[in-house]
């Protein structure tokens, strides 16, 4: 019974990762409201998948009976996924706040450049994470330090790009964004 639940749980987060890859691909091939909606849904699905994987990693760490779980190993396994969750939450938040000016294209062209960079980095992270979770070692040993470091590097780069994106949205919007705020 427990094995059936573990397989079901694994298939759920694998499905979420696959769905977010598909939604991001659709978002990249469209524009306007459709693209914006695809990105928002992709961020949400990716966030849910990362939360499920984080629960699995923590369950593996806490379920070990030997002394191989040090604070450093735990941090290197958990930190990349925590940063990903924070970045995805940050992207969802400021894309929701600045939704009108993004859809109406009242932002600097740099926004779209960095938005595409973020989507590319997220797709690379999705592929790396998917290759980690389909391996046989993931269920038994968790994530290796090498893969964890790769995901950490990619998540830090994504966080830097997300901060640049936020700066562009906050300080470099055009065409009367202030009047839209006053109407609210």
pTM value is: 0.85
Would the pLDDT of 2 be above 90?
no
Q: In whole angstroms, give the CA distance from residue 180 to residue 83.
A: 32
Report yes or no on 127 lying in a domain.
yes
Report yes or no on 98 lying in a domain.
yes
Q: In whole angstroms, give the CA distance from residue 13 to residue 45.
A: 9
Q: How many domains does the chain have?
A: 1
Report yes or no on 183 lying in a domain.
no
Report yes or no on 161 lying in a domain.
yes
Mean pLDDT calculated for residue range 28-53: 93
Mean pLDDT calculated for residue range 5-34: 90
Report yes or no on 184 lying in a domain.
no
Split at pLDDT 50, 70, 90, the class of 179 is very low
Structural domain that includes position 171: 2-178
Among 10, 47, 8, CA closest to 138: 10
Report yes or no on 89 lying in a domain.
yes
The pLDDT tens digits for 60-111 are 877 766 655 677 777 888 999 999 999 999 999 999 999 999 888 888 889 9
pLDDT at position 32 is 85
pLDDT at position 105 is 85
Report yes or no on 90 lying in a domain.
yes
pLDDT at position 177 is 45
**DSSP codes joined into one string, the chain:** -HHHHHHHHHHHHHHHHHHHHHHHHHHHH--THHHHHHHHHHHHHHHHHHHHHHHHHHHHHHH--SS---HHHHHHHHHHHHHHHHHHHHHHHHHHHTHHHHHTT-B-HHHHHHHHHHHHHHHHHHHHHHHHHTSHHHHHH---HHHHHHHHHHHHHHHHHHHHHHHHHHHSB-SSHHHHHHH-
């Amino acid at each position: 019974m427990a094995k059936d639940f573990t397989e079901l749980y694994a298939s759920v987060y694998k499905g979420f990762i696959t769905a977010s890859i598909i939604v991001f691909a659709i978002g990249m091939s469209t524009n306007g409201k459709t693209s914006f909606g695809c990105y928002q849904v992709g961020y949400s699905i990716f966030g849910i998948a990362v939360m499920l994987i984080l629960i699995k990693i923590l369950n593996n760490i806490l379920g070990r009976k030997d002394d191989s779980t040090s604070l450093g190993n735990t941090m290197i396994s958990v930190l990349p996924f925590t940063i990903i969750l924070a970045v995805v939450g940050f992207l969802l938040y400021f894309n929701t706040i600045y939704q009108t000016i993004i859809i109406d294209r009242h932002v600097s062209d740099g926004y779209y450049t960095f938005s595409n960079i973020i989507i590319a980095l997220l797709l690379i992270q999705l592929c790396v994470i998917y290759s980690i979770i389909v391996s046989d070692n993931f269920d038994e040993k968790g994530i290796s330090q090498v893969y964890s470091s790769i995901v950490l590097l990619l998540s830090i780069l994504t966080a830097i790009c997300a901060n640049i994106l936020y700066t562009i949205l906050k300080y470099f919007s055009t065409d009367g964004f202030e009047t839209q705020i006053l109407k609210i």
